[in-house]
Amino acid sequence: MGNSIAEYASDHVKEPQVVLKLPSELRYHVFLSFRGDTRKAFTDHLYTALDQAGYHTFRDNNEIERGESINSELEKAIQQSRISIIVFSKDYASSKACLYELVIILRCRRTSGQVVLPIFYDVDPTVVRNQTDSFSEAFAGYEEQLKAETNYGRKTELAKKVRVWREALKEVTDLAGMSLQNDANGQESKFIKQIVKVIGDKLSRTIMSVAMYPVGIRSRAKAINLWLQDASMDVSAYAIRGMGGLGKTTIAKYVYNLNFHRFAGSSFLANIREVSKQPRGLIQLQSQLLSDILNRKKDSITSVDEGMVKIKDAIGAKRVLLVLDDVDDVDDVEQLNAILGMWDLFYPGSKIIITTRHEWLLKPHAVYKIHEIEKLNDEESIKLFSWHAFGQEHPTEQYMEHSERVVHHCGGLPLALQVLASFLSRKTLDIWDSALAKLQAIPNSQIIEKLKISYDSLEDDHDKNLFLHIACFFCGEDKYFVVKVLDACGFYSYIGIQNLVDRCLVTINDEDKIMMHQLIQDMGREIVRQESPKEPGKRSRLWRHQQSYSVLKEMTLAGGYKNFPKKLRWLCWHGFNLKSIPIELPLGNLVALDMSYSKLERVWEGTKSLGALKVLNLSYSQKLMETPDFTGFRNLERLILKGCQSLLGVGETIGFLERLALLNLEDCKNLRKLPKNISMLQLLETLIISGCSNLFPTELTEMESLKVLHADRYAMKSSSAISRRVYQPRVPKPRKGPITPCAL
């Protein structure tokens, strides 16, 4: 049945160049498909209710019958919608345009995971499924047209359409829908409220961003989709396993988007390997899992054990879909133990998907299936390469032979195909010949060396060094932070980062963080390691903690703080265990100082001049009682004191911070008042004082630059509104909350 509909859609609906729409490209929350007999009554009331609930809804306002097909704008609106609501009424099947819409909607459901909600208004679902009553009359009319048609081609075409329409009506009734009579006893206003609530629940789930050109994904995800869609009530897991760059995460996102609506709760925990290495990273993952499944803001968790107790309650209450992405830390399986250590407590029918390079990580846990990702075959490889290099399905004739040679050297690795295609795009054949000659000298097994071709293609040492800095130190960091630090090191960061983006060496995610695929990061770090394979101290960069500490201790600390590196731009020293930073420590060139989770009681004794400092992060320094003298910090732009629970006040010298744009005092529970001269901060845009449960009523005046104020349960975003008196509510002191890394 589904194949016929897909075949029909392929033949009669022009496929877009991008089959899977990225969430950022979606324009509508809801697409309404309906027959004109409900336009001025039920559908109009439903549209109004959705609009008032804040859901951007597409409704075709053309009341004229649209004939044999739908226009391209209407088709585009379907493709750009997160959810399609199909309002089945008695006359729905009499409209060929409505049936065309239904076919396209079901195609979007299969290819991009669009959620489809059938609404049975004044017709029973069995009537739609079996095409009886008014639906039978509509199809009888189509059969009469078939009999009357004398042209063989048109007759065959119409017969195919009728068959596909019938199958589509059967397919859509297999989905979970809502009926006016069954769900609301015929009460339309009650029914509409129920629909809006269901839409809200579905929209609260996050759609994962999938590859722009999803070549080969659908076939490789077929087995996992069938597993997710079975009716078994067993708790089971599916491991997606393979080498880096094969698309494990992409396939996991694809099947998650297609199936999360089938479960009462769902969570996609991305980048577990990296997140788990961060301070309190496992707690951060547990908190996200609870937030996703329970559909509420993140819980306060103080320990992994506490998180496990809360997770046990959550996963035992509803059927859930859980994706654990990039579980690859061979030295630490705690990440899995903390989440799957309670396998028997999952609600019946729950399913877990794990992406990993290492099968042995899974063996201590319950029964699971393993899906080995296959490399792309030659046809798929040339198609994926062509989309990225030429923007079309096949290479131009002039470049066909060269493209086939590139594809052969990539060995079916999607990441390598994308990187090389992006580099060669719009280049002359001479450059292609030169690149191919270099490729031939690199064995196919050495994937990292293949990726190095894009590094070698960077125009100058500036961009190469910028790339190596990011690969070694800045993956996952805010673009703002990276630019500030690297600009202070003499880089032209904005243009340099854009050059790296253009060559697919880095990406910028929706949170404005600089991201890099693991294989590309490994390639960059390998370049640095090869500078001196056996003597780390002779390399240009050190990123492993133990190596950095050993080299620093050997080369500089033997003579005391006077030998400490004087050209440091960024010092990140989590868990610093002294009561104050030694005043003689040479930090004059620092742009960013991160002393999160330190044991500092005061930052340092006396006054310190740090004229280059732009970011100061002292988050979760639980013993910090006072802020430093800010008179020497004139260029500071971000001051982060989140979770400093012993902090009693902020010094009046903060008024000297003329460039301060962000002040984060969240969860400073003993903070009594803000300094009177805070109004002197004319560039302050963001002030966060939520969780400051003992803060006295505070007057914020003459702060025209302030755009965002977070104070417990509300956030004000209008600078004009903040010129009035704003009170911080006095609330009961909550129990001790979690310590999580600040992400600003």
CA-closest candidate to residue 321, choices 350, 347, 294: 350
Question: Cβ contacts of residue 509 below 8 Å, gap of 6+?
Answer: 515
DSSP, collapsed to helix, strand or coil, labels residue 116 as strand
Contact present, 301 and 310 (Cβ < 8 Å): yes
Q: How far is CA 83 from CA 21, 117, 204, 694, 728, in A?
A: 13, 7, 12, 44, 39
- The reply to whether 101 belongs to the active site is yes
Structure tokens at 553: 């201790």
Q: Residue 503 and residue 426: Cα distance in Å, rounded?
A: 12
Q: Residue 256 and residue 292: Cα distance in Å, rounded?
A: 13
Q: Residue 704 and residue 723: Cα distance in Å, rounded?
A: 7
Q: Residue 654 and residue 680: Cα distance in Å, rounded?
A: 9
SS (H, E, C) 475-487: CCCEHHHHHHHHH
DSSP, collapsed to helix, strand or coil, labels residue 415 as helix
Q: What is the dihedral of CA 485, 453, 398, 428, to 10 degrees?
A: 60
Concatenate the DSSP letters of all residues of 285-334 into one string. HHHHHHHHHHTSSPPP--SHHHHHHHHHHHHTTS-EEEEE-----TT--H
| Termini Cα distance of the chain | 50
Structure tokens at 729: 């509510």
In 10 A of CB 121, how many CB atoms? 23
Structure tokens at 473: 């130190």
Contact present, 108 and 114 (Cβ < 8 Å): yes
Task: Return the H-helix or E-strand segment holding 671.
Answer: none
DSSP, collapsed to helix, strand or coil, labels residue 639 as strand
The strand pairing partners of 606, in sequence order, are none
Q: How far is CA 451 from CA 402, 457, 541, in A?
A: 18, 10, 20
Q: Residue 612 and residue 571: Cα distance in Å, rounded?
A: 13
Structure tokens at 592: 């960013």
Contact present, 481 and 615 (Cβ < 8 Å): yes
Contact present, 86 and 105 (Cβ < 8 Å): yes
Of 75, 101, 167, 637, the active-site residue reads: 101
Active-site positions read 101
